Amino acid sequence: MARLPRIRFGIGSFQELPDIIARHGRHAYLVTGRSSMPDERLAWLTGELRSREVAVVGHARTSAEPGPDTIDRHASAARARRADVVVGIGGGRALDTAKAVAGLAGSGTGVMDHLEGVGRGIAFPGPSLPCIAVPTTAGTGSEVTRNAVVTVRGASGFKRSFRDDRLIAAEALIDPDLLAGA
């Protein structure tokens, strides 16, 4: 049976994120949605992380459903920069990207190795880096699931899942304040 992430819920709980990240690592790779991380929020987070001796070693902004190239590029960057925790902040696209990046950065494999129905059918070897999921929309549930949706557009396109229990976020932080304006 799959585990659930440790779930933190509450108005203003986003303020706890720097401490949560610091408990999981010292080199954070951020994956955010197009509008879920305004500059002032990003500046606050990076400043708070710096004060806890945590470096942001990479930041990916998602604007579309992630494709294999995007996921593999960010996983490779996270691995090369020695990330030890991945943080997803945004809607389902950002959270799915973060979970896939955390899994592949830890394993060193590519997403097409593991996709259902269109991939190479190789079992995910793990490990996965810890992932912290911070949803800023309601409805996808990505913060508590074991899959990351991957999309390729076009005539031979597909929408498939990369699934494994090790892709479940280590922690999910749900702050209703982040849903304002969604």
Using one digit for the tens of pLDDT, what is the confidence trace for 102-149?
A: 999 989 899 999 988 888 888 999 999 999 999 998 877 889 889 999
CA distances from 5 to 74, 86, 128, 168, 170 (A): 23, 14, 14, 7, 5
Tokens describing residue 124:
């995910």
Q: What gap in Å lies between CA 112 and CA 30, rounded to an integer?
A: 22
Predicted structure pTM score: 0.94
Taking the CB of residue 23, how many other CB atoms lie within 10 A of it? 14
- Is the model's pLDDT at 1 over the cut of 60? no
Q: Which residues pair with 59 in a beta bridge?
A: 30
More confident residue, 168 or 37: 168
**Identity at 34, one-letter amino acid code:** R
Percent of the chain with pLDDT over 70: 98
Is residue 155 predicted with pLDDT exceeding 80? yes
Residue 83 DSSP code: -
Q: Which residues have a Cβ under 8 Å from the Cβ of 41 and sit 6 or more positions away? A: none
